[in-house]
Amino acid sequence: MKLHALPLFVALLATHAAAFELATPQRTATLFVPAGEPECVRLAAADLVSDVHKITGQTLQAGEGEGSMVLASLNRPESAALLEKIAPGFGDGLKGKWEAYRVETSGGRLIIAGSDERGTMFGLYAFIEKYLGVDPLYYWAGRPPVKRATLAWDSVKLAAGEPSFKFRGWFINDEDLLTEWKESGGQRQIDYPFYKQVVPRDVMRAVAEALVRSRCNLIIPASFVDIINPPEEALVQECARRGVFLSQHHVEPLGVSAFSYFNYWKKRGKDLKYSYFSHPAEVREVWRVYAEKWAAYPNVIWQLGLRGIADRPMWMADPNTPQSDTDRGRLISEAMAAQVQILDEVTPRQPRYLSTTLWAEGSALNQKKLLTIPAGTIIVFADNSPGWKWQQDFYSTPRDPRNTYGVYYHHGLIGSGPHLAQVVGPHKTFACLKTAMEQGAGTYAIFNVSNLREFVLGIDASAKMTWRMDTFDPGTWLAEWVRSRFSKQQDAIEKAYQVYFNAWQIHDVQQVPFLMDGQMFGAGHSGLGEIAKKLKEKKISGGVGPEKDQRAVSKPELAKAATSHGGDAFWSGLNDMHPRNLGRRETLKHLAAQQAGLTLALLHARTAAATLPEREAAFLRDNLIYQGTIMLQTGEWLESVLRAGAVLELGEVGVCAEELARAEAAFAQLPVLAQDYCRGPWENWYRGCKKLNVAATLQKTRDVLEQARKAQTHAAQRKGKP
């Protein structure tokens, strides 16, 4: 290029400069956060600074005066005055609204304004996601932002009115992997096989950051939180810093679980039964102490109710509790009234939200109209556990104008699954939430997200749909989700996800999935147990064994409950959670269909992954290929266990041993496959795997296999005798 042409070239570059430059190799914007903004807005601003540095290597500087990028919450006088000064009328459409925001360039600045502090925070995170390309769940998805030299745009424009669901959040539950992934965050005094140590504070910090980046505003930070234990209170503190609403597990009215109750009285030298029936005064004392502790935090949604130890009804903790549903409903209603009275005394001048979650026996008693729920309570209906459909009380409960209504939905759930692999796709979640909106239960939506990492697709989808239900389309969303994460093979990858979510088999009668990981683990354990018992007792018929009774259920406790006290409200409330046993032949037929679907999904995914850049291929392997493969192996294991049981009924001990050997070989692949899934920063991810417990299941399979081989040897020796 000739020297005399250089000024013209520079002039052309200047002519085409972007309207707003956040960070370029030459300069960075200045970021101004008015002094009156709360900590949650300042933390969001710090996240922006961190994101820009990760992407460009540049560091945004704090603005003096008015800055080139301004954050302003309309409910903060100083911020409102500044906004009116630099951009008159900019926030007029936001005043008095809930979590609404506007993001736009004006007068050479980028202004992010919210109707309140969460609106400002969510507006900033919406800008970060759309314009910087940062995945809200980047930490849990293993997807750090892509590096770029320049962050500049000719136009920046985003806006959102009030969200569809007022409260939208996560329940960190069945979090066995989170509790032991890193070094302990502290010890818990809990008489329970799980959660012996506290999730580390830095892990909870990453959870809370992902929550607000996803534009959710509610969290139950762990199972059975004892806020009087400092390491557990640290979890609450990390969430409170983010400006979100804090709530409690449905076994923790006013923040008190049975374990907290035991700890409280143990320190005072008393060993008391956890029972509002036998010790009402003592229970109320603990409720009051914990309510005073929780009340130190803003934005608490208080849980009302009455349950027993772990996640069981109160009457399982105290057999003296009345046996009729009417008396039990009355006792729970009296407890909720007492809890409201305590809150009236402990928080007399604080804004207050109440909720009660109708899960298990709560759902069953509510269907019978045996609960009196205090006015002003958010009544939360549960899905069938896991999320597939609403329970009957969702439809049969009249909506009382004195209350509002919401839903509790499972992305993950122990026992019936899913836990190690996602199952419920965005189409089904959207259908359930759309029904919730239509049926007057659209105030509150909380999602059981378990250990987060396995469910990033479902979590992102549910966050987007609860924010704006009227414009959400699950098919469009999935296509866009795939295209924002993969540079090639998008159609094949989208197809892989569609086939994967459609592969899960639906129960013929109850119309819910019944071969998810937890359910397959349970069925396999049951089958192994039956084989072991027959081998031990030498009950090998040598004839054709009968099919299992079609009316039998998969959980022994449920079968027992159905024959006692005319049916127990707890187990009847979980009827769809544990679908009825279809018998071995039908189960194997459905299992074969599911295996075929998973195999096809994996074919699409593996073919696509082979052509992707490593960063993208790694995410596809973690989020789809690994999950599909371990479920395929689990299915092979279950098939072989079921066949082993069938041939044993025919007296074929040797063939039974062969089938168990196939089962062992299939299941033994799970820890091998997990080695790559637990690579790098995810080292020790499965160290706390005690809920489904892959290691224990593999060992049980090997033990029964050894038992069968010994029986085979013994049978051969007997045959060889003259």
The string of pLDDT tens digits covering residues 14-27 is: 444 568 999 999 99
| CB of 94 closer than 8 Å to CB of 73 | no
CA distances for 75 relative to 38, 90, 166, 323, 551, angstroms? 11, 14, 18, 52, 59
Instruction: Supply the pLDDT for residue 184.
Output: 87
Confidence check: pLDDT of 327 > 90: yes
Instruction: Supply the pLDDT for residue 719.
Output: 79
Helix (H, G, I), strand (E, B) or coil at 684: coil
Q: Residues near 321 by Cβ (< 8 Å), separated by ≥ 6? A: 275, 277, 278, 314, 315, 328, 331
| CB of 448 closer than 8 Å to CB of 173 | yes
- Token reading at 632: 């395929």
Confidence check: pLDDT of 233 > 60: yes
Q: Which domains does the chain have, with CATH numbers?
A: 19-160 (3.30.379.10), 167-472 (3.20.20.520), 517-547+583-720 (no CATH)
Distance CA 462, CA 214 (A): 10
Handedness of CA 134, 499, 623, 689 (dihedral sign): positive
Q: How many DSSP H helices and E strands does the chain contain?
A: 26, 16
Confidence check: pLDDT of 128 > 90: yes
- Token reading at 312: 């069981």
Instruction: Supply the pLDDT for residue 566.
Output: 39
Q: What number is the average pLDDT over the span 692-698?
A: 96
- Token reading at 553: 């259920």
Q: Residues near 325 by Cβ (< 8 Å), separated by ≥ 6? A: 364, 365, 368, 370, 569
Which tens digits make up the pLDDT trace of 480-519? 999 999 999 999 999 999 999 999 999 998 889 999 999 9
CA distances for 205 relative to 35, 509, 588, angstroms? 24, 43, 44
Instruction: Supply the pLDDT for residue 388.
Output: 86
CA distances for 670 relative to 251, 328, 343, 651, 690, angstroms? 33, 44, 49, 31, 15
SS3 string, 153-183, reads ECCCEEEECCCCCCEEEEECCCCHHHHHHCC
Confidence check: pLDDT of 557 > 70: no
Instruction: Supply the pLDDT for residue 503.
Output: 98
Helix (H, G, I), strand (E, B) or coil at 297: coil
pTM, two decimal places: 0.93
Q: Residues near 61 by Cβ (< 8 Å), separated by ≥ 6? A: 28, 30, 31
Confidence check: pLDDT of 556 > 60: no
Convert 596-627 to b/e letters by CB count within 10 Å (16 or more is b): ebbebbbebbbebbeebeeebbbbbbbbbbbb
User: Long-range contacts: 662-667, Cβ < 8 Å, 24+?
Assistant: 662/636, 663/524, 663/636, 663/637, 663/638, 663/701, 663/705, 664/698, 664/701, 664/702, 664/705, 666/633, 666/634, 666/636, 666/637, 666/640, 667/633, 667/634, 667/637, 667/694, 667/697, 667/698, 667/701
Q: What share of the chain is helix, strand, coil (3-state, %, to 5)?
A: 50, 10, 40
DSSP state at residue 452: S
Confidence check: pLDDT of 245 > 50: yes
The residues with which 32 forms a beta bridge, in sequence order, are 70
- Token reading at 619: 């995410």
What is the percentage of the chain residues whose pLDDT exceeds 90? 83
| CB of 574 closer than 8 Å to CB of 553 | no
Q: What is the largest CA-CA distance in the chain?
A: 111
- Angle of helix 694-720 versus helix 669-677 axis, rounded to 10: 160
Q: What is the mean pLDDT of the chain?
A: 92
Q: What number is the average pLDDT over the span 683-697?
A: 95
- Token reading at 213: 């980046």
CA angle 392, 394, 400 (to 5 degrees): 135
